[in-house]
Structure 1
Amino acid sequence: MTEGLEGGCLCGKVRFRTTQAPLRTFACHCTFCQRVTGSSYYAESMFPMNAVVLNAGALSSYEHISDGSKKKVFVHFCPNCGTTISLTFERWPEIRGISRGCYDDPNAVEVSSHIWTQSAQTGTALPKGVECFAEARVTLEGQAEPSTRHTAPVMARAKSDA
C-alpha cells in the first residue's frame, strides 16, 4: 500500500487524501455499521486524525451513542449525496476511520480483520486466515480480545440459527 490514498463521495463534491498508510483496515459487522451503510458491514481504514486531509467540500455529521461503549460516534457524510466518508469517535479522539469504498482504488488497502462477527448477517462469508473477533478487538477497559483465524471460509449465521 502506498501513502497518499485519495478518494471521495459518490457525487464528487467531497474529496480527501491521506498522508500515510492506515493503522489498520477492518470490516465491522455490528448492527450500527450495517445501518450506516445499508449493507452487511462497514469496511474502514483507521488513521491518526492529522493524516486525513479534506481537499474539497465540507462534511455534514450525525452524532450517535454507541450501544457498547455509550460514547459518541460521529458519522461524517457528503451533504449533497449522503455518502458516508468517515467516522470519528469520542472514545478515540485522535483516530479517524475512512470508508474503504470511498477510495479511488478500494483495493489499495487490505482488510486485516473482521469485528463484531457475532452480528454478521446470514450469508456473509468470513475469510480464511484473517483475524475474526466475535465483538470488538479490545474491551471497554482496553484489554485485547481473542480472535479466530478460520482455516477455510466460514459462512456467518443469524443469531436465531446459532
Structure 2
Amino acid sequence: MPAVLEGGCLCGKVRFSASQPPLRTFACHCTFCQRMTGTSFYAESLFPMDAVRFNDGELRQYEHRSDGSHKKVFVHFCPSCGTTMGLTFERWPDVRAISRGCYDDPNAVELTSHIWTRSAQSGVALPADVDCFAMARATLDGRPEVALRHEAPVLARQESGR
C-alpha cells in the first residue's frame, strides 16, 4: 500500500489524502448504503479523523438518522458532481469513512469484511475467506459479533437461506 492514499471526486474539485493506512476497509450491504450509493453496496475505509486531510474544495453534508442505533450519520459529498466522498458518525466522532471508489487507486486497499449481508441484493456474491456479518461487526453495546467465512464464493441471498 502507498505511504499516502490519495483520491478525489468525479469532477476533481474535492481531493483528499490519508496519512496512514485505514483501520479497516469493508463493504456494507445495509439498505441505507444501497440508497446512498444507488447500487448494491458501499465500500468504505475507516480512518482516525485526523488521518484524512481535504483540499479547499467544498464538501456538503446530508444528515441521516440510523435505523439501528438512532444516531446521526453524515454523508459528505461534492456539491458540483454529487460524489459521495465519505461518512462521519455521531456514534463514532473520532472516525471518518472514505469511499473506496474515490481513491486514485481503489485497489490499494483490500476489503477485509462484508457487513449487513442479510440485506444484500440478489446476485451479490460474497467472497471466500473474508469475514461476513449478517448485521454489524458489533452489537449496539459494543460486543463483537461472530463472523461467517465461506470456503468458496457464495451468493448472499443463499447465505441466509433466502
* C-alpha separation in 1, matches of 2:158 and 2:11: 34
1:113 alignment partner in structure 2 = 113
Q: CA deviation at 1:155?
A: 0.5
**Contact 1:6–1:15 under 8 Å retained in 2:** yes
Q: CA deviation at 1:157?
A: 1.7
1:62 alignment partner in structure 2 = 62
Structure 1 segment 86-101 matched on structure 2, within 5 A:
86-101=86-101
* C-alpha separation in 1, matches of 2:106 and 2:63: 26
Q: CA deviation at 1:158?
A: 8.2
Unaligned ranges ≥5, structure 2: none
User: Alignment partner of 2:43: what SS?
Assistant: strand
User: Alignment partner of 1:149: what SS?
Assistant: coil
* C-alpha separation in 1, matches of 2:158 and 2:79: 34
User: Alignment partner of 2:157: what SS?
Assistant: coil
After TM superposition, the score normalised by the length of structure 1 is 0.97
2:42 alignment partner in structure 1 = 42
1:21 alignment partner in structure 2 = 21
Which structure 1 residue ranges, 4+ long, deviate > 3 Å from structure 2? none
**Could you list the per-position Cα deviations for residues 52-96 of structure 1 after superposition, in whole angstroms to 9, with x for gaps in the alignment?**
000240100000000000000000000100000010000000000
* C-alpha separation in 2, matches of 1:56 and 1:39: 29
User: Alignment partner of 2:50: what SS?
Assistant: helix
The CA RMSD measured in Å over matched residues stands at 1.3
- Amino acid of the residue matched to residue 146 of structure 2? P
Aligned residues: 161
**Contact 1:48–1:94 under 8 Å retained in 2:** yes
Unaligned ranges ≥5, structure 1: none
2:145 alignment partner in structure 1 = 145
* C-alpha separation in 1, matches of 2:158 and 2:29: 12
- Amino acid of the residue matched to residue 95 of structure 2? I
